[in-house]
Chain A
Amino acid sequence: MESDFIALDGVEKVFDVRRRTGRLRREKTRVRAVDGISFTVPRGEMVGYIGPNGAGKSTTIKMLTGILTPSGGRVRVAGIDPARERTRLARHIGVVFGQRTTLWWDLPLRDSYRLMHRMYRIPDDRFKANMARCVEQLDLGELLDVPVRQLSLGQRMRGDIAAALLHDPEVLYLDEPTIGLDVISKAKVRDFLRDLNAERGTTVLLTTHDLTDIEQLCKRVMVIDHGRLVYDGALAGLHEVGESERTLVVDLERELPPVEVAGARVLKVEGPRQWLAFPASVSAAPLVAAVAQRYPLVDLSVREPDIEAVIAKMYADRSAL
């Protein structure tokens, strides 16, 4: 139960998409939005769930929250079958849809929280304590009496996150929680989520297009593409899977023709500075030694591959298949 707090076993979701092909004729095509996904998430883990648009991220989240019924396989969240006991599950989970607010547009923020208080039947003392914590950590104090329609996007997102947490959910699903936010708001949201996970042990599953979210928050990342899990592991491991390359930047004493060493290729030459690419999976040390031995080396630095580029490459490789 603790290690498979969230458990998916061969989960599938098949949609029949009808398309009009003629005046009356309609063609039915089957789309496997989620095509046999299995994973488990232990209690208290914070996992990033990423993939290109239409990969099946949202469909997975909808099955985990009980909105959609899987076509096949088995889903359990906190021991509950989401599709069969959706309303019971609702008390155990918090959901933040990045682009759809659940707050009451024309009413002060405080009123939305009051509704949550009553709708989830949150005991008064717990509600007070949770409110106080959210207000402090999400910096909501001055916003409570402001109608939601007057809040900025970042303020509203913080308000939405608080609304999803007042009933002490054990799992928090976040769908694009930082989309459209400015740098400061993003930082605030990330800090809050990190603290929430560390202090309260809330299990967090977040989908995002912003890989900085993942880098800063999640030790584990799952990549989904065409409805299948193509990677599940540490963020660092993505590099090996994605066959990414690191870059060695060398500053030589003077302008020289491109460096020639085994195991690396020159990307760019700019005066005395040269950029060499080498596989991320091998050590930089022998390469540096080889360069230093044969060239007048002044300075050097190693650049880690851009995670974004790695994932883009992964997607590209898969769709080429």
Chain B
Amino acid sequence: MAEVEAGTEAEATQATAAAGTGEAGTGGVGEKLGAVGQLRAGIRAYRMIAAMWIRSTMAYRASFAMAAFGNFAATGLDFVGILLMFSHVDALGGYTLPEVAFLYGTAGAAFGLADLVMGSMDRLGRRVRDGTLDTLLVRPVPVLAQIAADRFALRRLGRVTQGLLVLGYALVVLDIAWTPLKVLLVPVMILSGAVIFASVFVAGAAFQFWAQDASEVQNSFTYGGTTMLQYPPTVFAKDLVRGVTFVLPLAFVNWIPALYVLDLPYPLDLPSWFAFLPPVVAGVCCVPAGAAWRVGLRSYRSTGS
């Protein structure tokens, strides 16, 4: 039973991430259901399938334990690298260690959450190639939810945990002039950031309907994007910063809101209310991601490959 309960926990995170992406769900098959009904059907299916995968991994407890630890350790080593860097310098791009830890923690937690919920979507290409996607298409639940829950792995909690631990450290050490808005902004940016990443996962998966080996492209945006966001924006070229602000809006995952919380200047001259845009940006990101998914699924259903 423990596994089933764990599945319900995962559902809570899904509810937030899917709030953005799930609605665009099933490629226009559930017209009768409406967006909300379809979202609920998607979340329900996601929970059921994720619970089945958790039970499946529990069939090999030892390997699960090792994978979970490995996941935690691998992401942890990542931060050790930053610690090592700070053992030689006092500041990175004008940022102190706790400030970088704040960026690291928020980016890590947001990405970890999206990865936990949507991380297996890059297996879609394989399912397209070996034809097992067809078995999902004959079921009465949204395909996007089935694909998102495919190979759901609790070991990915390692990344979220690690991100939250680093964030916890930053919050304890940093001397922030807290206001209610700032307090609210921290969870809001993590959840919005998770939705932004989730949109990238969905769009990347949609691309695999055409190019089945495209998962690396998507990874460069997700994994690469997180790594970038874990460092201060001041260390990057301005054009790159502009790109992730106005084109692929990853800067809204943490940079822009985090710098507001930290009272630090953003390299670009932006009005301060930009800091509160992450939920809006997240919502907007879901539109092209959902559209890409629909178009991809439609294309699959007309070409069969």
Residues in A lying within 8 Å of B, measured CB to CB: 15-16, 59, 62, 65-69, 71, 83-88, 90-91, 93, 95, 97, 100, 102, 104-107, 111, 115, 118-120, 147
Residues in B lying within 8 Å of A, measured CB to CB: 26, 29-30, 32, 45, 48-49, 52, 55-56, 59-60, 131-132, 134-135, 137-142, 298, 301-304
Cβ-defined contact, A69 with B302, below 8 A? yes
Cβ-defined contact, A85 with B29, below 8 A? yes
| Least CB separation from A94: chain B residue | B138
| Least CB separation from B141: chain A residue | A119
Contacts of A71 in B (CB 8 A): 302
Q: How many Å lie between the Cα of A47 and that of B237 in the bound state?
A: 67
Contacts of A115 in B (CB 8 A): 48-49, 52
B48 contact from A90, A119, A147, Cβ within 8 A: A119
Q: How many Å lie between the Cα of A93 and that of B29 in the bound state?
A: 16
Instruction: Please provide the 9 A-B residue pairs with the shortest distance between their CB atoms, ordered closest to farther.
Output: A90-B140, A106-B56, A106-B59, A95-B138, A67-B137, A86-B29, A87-B29, A69-B301, A102-B135
Cβ-defined contact, B137 with A100, below 8 A? no
A87 contact from B60, B132, B142, B301, Cβ within 8 A: B142
B140 contact from A15, A111, A120, Cβ within 8 A: A120
The 6 listed contacts between A and B (C-beta, < 8 Å) are A66-B29, A69-B298, A88-B140, A106-B59, A111-B52, A119-B45
Contacts of A65 in B (CB 8 A): 137-138
Q: How many Å lie between the Cα of A107 and that of B55 in the bound state?
A: 7
Q: How many Å lie between the Cα of A118 and that of B135 in the bound state?
A: 17
Q: How many Å lie between the Cα of A91 and that of B45 in the bound state?
A: 15
Cβ-defined contact, A66 with B137, below 8 A? yes
> Provided the pairs A104-B52, A105-B56, A107-B59 are in contact, do residues A87 and B304 lie with their beta carbons within 8 angstroms?
no
Contacts of A147 in B (CB 8 A): 59
Cβ-defined contact, A100 with B132, below 8 A? yes
Chain A nearest CB from B106 CB (Å) reads 36
Contacts of B137 in A (CB 8 A): 65-67, 86
| Least CB separation from B146: chain A residue | A119
Cβ-defined contact, A97 with B135, below 8 A? yes
Q: How many Å lie between the Cα of A120 and that of B44 in the bound state?
A: 12
Q: How many Å lie between the Cα of A104 and that of B304 in the bound state?
A: 24
> Provided the pairs A87-B26, A87-B29, A119-B48 are in contact, do residues A67 and B56 lie with their beta carbons within 8 angstroms?
no
Q: Determine which residue in B29, B48, B49, B140 has the highest number of CB atoms from chain A within 10 A of its CB, and name it.
A: B140
Cβ-defined contact, A62 with B304, below 8 A? yes
Chain A nearest CB from B139 CB (Å) reads 6
Chain B nearest CB from A234 CB (Å) reads 30
> Provided the pairs A105-B56, A111-B52, A147-B59 are in contact, do residues A87 and B134 lie with their beta carbons within 8 angstroms?
no
Contacts of A86 in B (CB 8 A): 29, 137-138
Contacts of A111 in B (CB 8 A): 52, 55
Contacts of B59 in A (CB 8 A): 106-107, 147
Cβ-defined contact, A59 with B139, below 8 A? no
| Least CB separation from B53: chain A residue | A104
Cβ-defined contact, B56 with A83, below 8 A? no
Cβ-defined contact, B304 with A59, below 8 A? yes
Contacts of B135 in A (CB 8 A): 95, 97, 100, 102
